[in-house]
Chains A and B, each alone.
Chain A
Amino acid sequence: GQNIDQPTEMTATEGAIVQINCTYQTSGFNGLFWYQQHAGEAPTFLSYNVLDGLEEKGRFSSFLSRSKGYSYLLLKELQMKDSASYLCAGMDSNYQLIWGAGTKLIIKP
């Protein structure tokens, strides 16, 4: 079966660094997405990885290891506005997204 696993909730301190992990099992693989979703709002795109390695985009970076079926999202210099849910999604061989349940990130002052 297809499955995306990520932690339910994480807590971090303002100004610190946090890493949100995601493991995936998909039928075929065409990339791994991260989206940010504030409570009651639409998800917004953060990153797309299809090749192994780290991609940096400002304070956010995303890493992919296809051999391990593993990705992480790294958030640096945390700000209060980063409090949100972070959704991991794998794209299968039919180019359909398989979504994880999301990781709720709580930022404390």
Chain B
Amino acid sequence: DGGITQSPKYLFRKEGQNVTLSCEQNLNHDAMYWYRQDPGQGLRLIYYSQIVNDFQKGDIAEGYSVSREKKESFPLTVTSAQKNPTAFYLCASEPTGDSYEQYFGPGTRLTVT
């Protein structure tokens, strides 16, 4: 079964700790995205990558970092510099071509106290 997996579903961390969210896809998609979703707001783009070993900042990249060492994997690290890290984080991938449809993982709900 092809798809996108994110783990874990729920994550709890203490303030001041870095945490890494996993995103894996076996759809053979080139592009991958990280979004943050907060209540009452649209999805906001954190980082995206259109090819291995290359990634771009989105609208709210401050306090986050990513890597794209493999086509299948696009982990997101939420650093202690992120002021309001508690949110629902969604990873998505998109095939090359004219489709533009993004396929989303199930999300990780991060709570930082």
Contacts and interface: CB of A to CB of B under 8 A. Distances in A.
Interface of A: 4, 8, 30-31, 33, 40-45, 48, 87, 89, 91, 95-102
Contacts of B40: 8, 101
Interface of B: 4, 40-45, 58, 88, 90, 100-107, 109
A89 B107 CA distance: 19
B107 A40 contact: yes
Given A41-B107, A42-B107, A44-B104, A87 B90 contact: no
Contacts of B101: 33, 45, 48
Contacts of B107: 40-42
Nearest to A3: B42
B105 A42 contact: yes
Contacts of A4: 42
Given A48-B101, A95-B100, A42 B42 contact: no
A42 B104 contact: yes
A43 B40 CA distance: 15
Contact of B43 (A40, A48, A95, A99): A99
Nearest to B107: A42
A97 B105 contact: no
Nearest to B40: A101
A41 B41 contact: no
Nearest to B6: A42
Which one of B44, B100, B106 has the greatest number of beta carbons of chain A within 10 Å? B100
Contact of A41 (B44, B103, B106): B106
A8 B39 CA distance: 11
B62 to A, nearest CB: 18
Given A42-B105, A87-B42, 8 more contacts: A40-B109, A41-B106, A42-B90, A42-B104, A42-B107, A48-B101, A98-B42, A99-B42
A102 B90 CA distance: 15
